[in-house]
Structure 1
Amino acid sequence: MPTPPSTGRQPASASPPRLSALVVCEGCGRDSPHLRIVQMQWAWSALVVTRHGQATLLVCPPCAGRRLGSASAKTALLGWWGVPFGWFFTPDALVGNLLAAPRPLEANVSMLLHQAAAYAQRGQIFRAQQARLEAAHHARGTAALERQLQEFESVVPTDPRIQRLPDPWRLTSRNALPRIAAALLGLLVLVCAALLVFT
């Protein structure tokens, strides 16, 4: 059967590949290569009753400072006043919110690698490298996560010219000031409570 004559038209091009969605902060709605999944902890007490809990947040460093600092301030004022559990859960919440550790670690690494790929698709190579470096920082020392990072090399290869920026989550960063202030408030309330009880 003879082939039909060519019309000279090019076949319709395939639609452009779909971009992966950027992950955004729950607080401000902005994307960042420094997002982190953290557990915000809280506690309050009234004599023999103590309530405590935690909530998972996906936040950037400035929003983490505000949200965790607020939870810690409320815990610092209301957590100590239960016997005996207020004296256990309150410092645990204050220290946890102060450190703002990435938990769970696996979810943080996966989220940051997704973010790196999404930035790379948009040609934002510097931000892609920062997200990948942040993931590498979290994965350090965990064999399974380091393997996941090696497999990701084909998506966003390591660029030795790009170094990790100073950690915006460190306690010496201004983003940590609300968390530090709330922890100091907790210490002050503890001293006052101890004076009331033991004097």
Structure 2
Amino acid sequence: MPYEHQTRREIEGNMSDNDPQGLYRALGIQPSANSDEIRTAYRKLAKDTHPDTSQDQNTEKFQKIAAAYEVLGNPLRRAAYDRSAYKAPTQETQTKVIDPICCSRCGQVTAQPRHIVFFRVYSFIFMTTRNPVQGIFCASCAKKEAARSSIITLIAGWWGVPWGPLYSVGSIIGNGFGGQHKRSADEAMIWYNALAFLSHGHMQLSYALAMQSKNALDKEIAKNADELTRLLERSGVDPKQGKLKNPWRTSVLSATTYCLMAFALPGALAAALFVDSQNGSRSTVYGGATTPYVSPPKTAPYQQNVQKAVTTPDVPTCANVPPNGQLLGPNRLSTADGHALEIRNGAGGNAIIKVRTEISGAVVATFFVRSNQTARISGIPDGRYKVQYAFGSALDVSCQRFVELNGADEFPRAETLNTEQTTTEIITQVLSYTLYAVPGGNIRPQSISAQDFERP
């Protein structure tokens, strides 16, 4: 049945912009913008309007920009905002015409929309991130975005140890099978469209959508949909044409393609490693040239920075090594609910971790992670933070710092931690990093000096 094509022609000039409170307009971006575009737009506008840094001071405009980023910069809040425009009560159709929902990508009216989150995975050896790409999609644009995000993940997501392969497989499979979406949100938008098409006089299409809404999880929607279908049947709508084709069904060919995409590369790498081990040699590539690879001594905990420190016998050292996860020195962690940081130390030596605020560089927490163990701290307040780490041969007599550092590094990207509060729960975030020594690797984290790491 050609309902959707017919509706596009008749209502093409009267579509919603998916921005009910103007948050996207405040940042000068489209509702289809990804998380990086949102972050970039906010930083530029904040710099141009902040009272402390801008010659053209505009406190009101800066507050509006900050409020917009507070919502759009958080994937959960952004998803709720994107759906907020489509909660029209049944009574609205009696008083005014309401517009059907449009795809945030192509701008076309879509009878059966979904709010979906796809993921793109990026890995940088020591760090793996999952970037959400979300919006209200028609089925056609959703399939394109699923393919695009999966291909990006296939190219850029595998190269982090150990979480790169795990996140990449999960994201590719998830994208291929429709991304992340909530049934309740899908049903709410279907019901909204049933009322919107009714207000435009598209009775048959409204009836078909109302038939779907009769099975909604929301009992109020199901009740109203049942009343609407009976009303439309009395008005002469043909019940035999009350079913729409499901555009969201995943075909066998598509499912097979995404499964191959997810597992082909790890399978090829496993086969290559097996063949390599059978040949009894390994190699690593630098700038296109292949050189022999020699395994380092097992006692070397971290080979990527400076030569291993030698502790002289006359320097007093820590008598009792702190337990894994022990906080070292003063900290600014909250005793109430806060965010968490988890460190997996896959290197051969003990590590000290520091969490610093991005702007001032003040230390929020310092803690100890033993070799080949995982430690977690919680109570980190809202803010933007950078994470630093260092390895050493032995702790000094205070048991809070290394006598001499073997190397110190900083994850190059600052992370934003925002607490979300709903009527029933408080939602906090968990950051997870892996420290994994890659001997002879040609991609490294951002090195910092011992002075930078030790500064208060």
Measured in 1, the distance between the counterparts of 2:176 and 2:107 equals: 23
Structure 1 partner of 2:249: 170
Return the structure number with greater relative CO, CA threshold 8 A, min gap 6.
1
**Is 1:193 the counterpart of 2:269 in the alignment?**
yes
Report deviation, 1:83: 0.8
Q: TM-score, normalization: structure 2?
A: 0.35
Measured in 2, the distance between the counterparts of 1:167 and 1:64 equals: 14
Q: Which has the higher helix share?
A: 1
**Is 1:29 the counterpart of 2:107 in the alignment?**
yes
Moved more, 151-160 or 38-47: 151-160
Q: What is the RMSD computed on CA atoms of the aligned residues?
A: 2.7
Task: Choose 1 or 2 for highest CA Rg.
Answer: 2
Report deviation, 1:136: 4.8
Structure 1 partner of 2:227: 154
Structure 2 partner of 1:78: 156
User: What are the equivalent positions in structure 2 for 1:111-190 lying under 5 Å apart?
Assistant: 111-136=189-214, 139=216, 142=217, 145-157=218-230, 160-172=239-251, 177=254, 181-190=257-266
The one-character-per-residue Cα deviations of 1:146-186 (angstroms, maximum 9, x if unpaired) are 4421233334447542342332111128xx84x76455333
> Does the CA contact (< 8 Å) of 1:117 and 1:156 recur in 2?
no
Moved more, 181-190 or 30-39: 181-190
Give the partner amino acid of 1:32: T
Structure 1 residues 29 and 49: CA distance shift in structure 2, 3 A? same
Report deviation, 1:107: 1.7
What are the ranges of 5 or more consecutive residues in structure 2 without an aligned counterpart?
A: 1-93, 234-238, 276-456
Give the partner amino acid of 1:58: I
Structure 1 residues 46 and 183: CA distance shift in structure 2, 3 A? farther
Q: Share of identical aligned residues, percent?
A: 19
Give the partner amino acid of 1:185: M
> Does the CA contact (< 8 Å) of 1:73 and 1:182 recur in 2?
no
Q: Which has the higher strand share?
A: 2
What are the ranges of 5 or more consecutive residues in structure 1 without an aligned counterpart?
A: 1-15
Structure 1 residues 155 and 187: CA distance shift in structure 2, 3 A? same
Report deviation, 1:104: 2.2
The number of residues matched between the two structures is 176
Measured in 2, the distance between the counterparts of 1:134 and 1:29 equals: 24
Measured in 2, the distance between the counterparts of 1:41 and 1:80 equals: 14
Measured in 2, the distance between the counterparts of 1:125 and 1:111 equals: 17
Structure 1 partner of 2:145: 67
Measured in 1, the distance between the counterparts of 2:168 and 2:104 equals: 25
Corresponding residue SS for 1:55: strand
Q: TM-score, normalization: structure 1?
A: 0.75
